[in-house]
Amino acid sequence: MKLPLYLDYSATTPVDPRVAKLMCDCLTQEGNFGNPASRSHLYGWQAEEAVENARRQVADLINADPREIVWTSGATESDNLAIKGVAHFYHKKGKHIITSKVEHKAVLDTCRQLEREGFEVTYLDPDSDGLITPAMVQDAMREDTVLVSLMHVNNEIGVVTDIAAIGEITRAAKVLFHVDAAQSAGKIAIDLEAMKVDLMSFSAHKIYGPKGVGALYVRRKPRVRLEAQMHGGGHERGMRSGTLATHQIVGMGAAFAIAQEEMQAENARIVSLRERLWDGVKDMEEVYMNGSHDQRVSGNANISFNFVEGESLLMSLRELAVSSGSACTSASLEPSYVLRALGMSDELAHSSIRFSIGRFTTAEDIDQAIEQVRKAVTKLRELSPLWDMYKDGVDLDSVQWTAH
């Protein structure tokens, strides 16, 4: 069976073969399998050295001190540790948190949990480009605000938050600032020496490292305190207990080192592929790129094909591995909460497809995707009563629909 063409790099990436090789060297008896916390023999020392080397590689990509990196199981855990850790440590100072409606569930559900514990959370609405602006954050600030948590790059629409400017506001107000950088690390330059971000979440599997490992950056100056969420042997300076997974961590370090080396050239190539895709479909009528076109990460193209329903479009695009913002089959019968937060009409939100392009995508892949998308959209529009009505000049908002 021919495998579908992978255009879902925002969901996850394959491990870079160079990374996989290094990981394999940390598993077997002949390899570096020791427990990095073993202080009494060479096996432990070697494993510790590998882990500390990886810590430096991660820190280097974001211009941080290695001592500011805490290993976790992924960005979900990092988000939990950052948000709950800050809320629980600083709750006497205040109980108000600011985040946005377009955050990843790892942030939103964590905030919901804190609401159940008595915290108050403000969920900012993005503008129609999907952006949270510094002014919105400024306006939401209160006396009792202790934390602002925003994502650097949105996983669905790829737009980039101006975290440098927001950091100035939070620092001036002495409010902590957490950024989920799962989708931006290795794609956008991050300088934590310059930016006033206090906590930052990372994941390895979005940048050609393995799944199941991530990190949380915790600033030392000015010092950020956290209440641990995982208790045990006191690893990671007490912030996250649990034996470190040497092979995973080595993989994450190597992936970050490669990203640092190749990011610039890779981004240029990927942007040109994304523009090739957009140029290949944008001349069809009623096709929209969702989210800011300019303030956008290189690999993401979230496109709505109006009057075509997303799930049927995915069915026609069986030879492409892409994802849909539509979720009619899920219990909710609702399109993506991110697209809705942009104020998009439900029809448009239901008709969106996220293409995400990455390291192993070629120009031929994009050309093939364009051909299949054009064919599918044309076919489904011929089947669509909404397309008919649009062509007849009927205003769909004026129609009395029978919701069911």
Partner 1 sequence: MAYSEQVIDHYENPRNVGKMDEKDAQVGTGMVGAPACGDVMRLQIKVDDQGVIEDAKFKTYGCGSAIASSSLVTEWMKGMTLDQAGEIKNAAISEELALPPVKIHCSVLAEDAIKAAIDDYKSKQ
Chain residues binding partner 1 by CB under 8 A are 307-312, 315, 326, 328-329, 333, 335, 345-347, 350, 382-388, 396, 401-404
* 139 vs 371 by CB, closer to partner 1: 371
Considering the complex, what minimum distance in angstroms separates the CB of residue 47 from ligand FES? 50
Size of the residue set binding ligand PLP (CB under 6 A): 12
CA distance 212 to 88: 25
* 4 vs 234 by CB, closer to partner 1: 4
Number of C-beta neighbours around residue 51 at 10 A: 21
Contact positions with ligand FES (CB under 6 A) in 319-338: 328-329
CA distance 378 to 210: 39
The contact pattern for ligand PLP, residues 106-145, with x = CB under 6 A and - = no contact, is x---------------------------------------
Tell me if 158 contacts ligand PLP by CB under 6 A: no
3-state secondary structure of 37: coil
* 34 vs 299 by CB, closer to ligand PLP: 299
**Nearest residue to ligand PLP, using CB?**
74
Tell me if 302 contacts ligand PLP by CB under 6 A: no
3-state secondary structure of 99: strand
Alpha-helix residue ranges (DSSP H) falling in 129-172: 134-140, 163-172
Tell me if 76 contacts ligand PLP by CB under 6 A: yes
Contact positions with ligand PLP (CB under 6 A) in 176-195: 180, 182-183
Residue 290's closest CA among 362, 333, 345? 345
* 151 vs 308 by CB, closer to ligand PLP: 151
Number of C-beta neighbours around residue 378 at 10 A: 12
Tell me if 386 contacts ligand FES by CB under 6 A: no
Size of the residue set binding ligand FES (CB under 6 A): 2
The answer to whether 24 is a known catalytic residue is no
Contact positions with ligand PLP (CB under 6 A) in 34-53: none
104 touches, from ligand PLP, partner 1, ligand FES, none (C-beta below 5 to 8 Å by class):
ligand PLP
Tell me if 104 contacts ligand PLP by CB under 6 A: yes
Are 115 and 85 contacting, i.e. CB atoms less than 8 angstroms apart? no
Considering the complex, what minimum distance in angstroms separates the CB of residue 123 from partner 1? 22
Contact positions with ligand PLP (CB under 6 A) in 326-385: none
* 141 vs 328 by CB, closer to ligand FES: 328
Strand order, beta sheet including 323-324: 287-289, 300-305, 352-356, 323-324
Q: Can you say whether the dihedral through the CA atoms of 10, 14, 17, 19 is positive or negative?
A: positive
Considering the complex, what minimum distance in angstroms separates the CB of residue 227 from ligand PLP? 20
Give, as one character, the DSSP assignment of residue 15.
Answer: P
Two tokens at 168?
Answer: 């100035």
Two tokens at 42?
Answer: 């060479």
CA distance 103 to 96: 17
Give me the amino acid identity at 404.
H
394 touches, from ligand FES, partner 1, ligand PLP, none (C-beta below 5 to 8 Å by class):
none
**Nearest residue to ligand FES, using CB?**
328
Two tokens at 196?
Answer: 């006033």
CA distance 388 to 385: 5
Are 115 and 67 contacting, i.e. CB atoms less than 8 angstroms apart? no
The contact pattern for ligand FES, residues 274-313, with x = CB under 6 A and - = no contact, is ----------------------------------------
Are 353 and 324 contacting, i.e. CB atoms less than 8 angstroms apart? yes
385 touches, from partner 1, ligand FES, ligand PLP, none (C-beta below 5 to 8 Å by class):
partner 1
What's phi and psi for 368, nearest 5 deg? -65, -40
Considering the complex, what minimum distance in angstroms separates the CB of residue 57 from ligand PLP? 18
Q: At what angle do helices 42-61 and 246-281 cross, to 10 degrees?
A: 30
Q: Put residue 238 in one of left, alpha, beta given phi > 0 → left and psi -120 to 50 → alpha.
A: left
Two tokens at 28?
Answer: 């077997």
**Residues within the interface to ligand PLP (CB under 6 A):** 74-76, 104, 106, 151, 155, 180, 182-183, 203, 214
**Residues within the interface to ligand FES (CB under 6 A):** 328-329
Q: Known catalytic residues?
A: 328
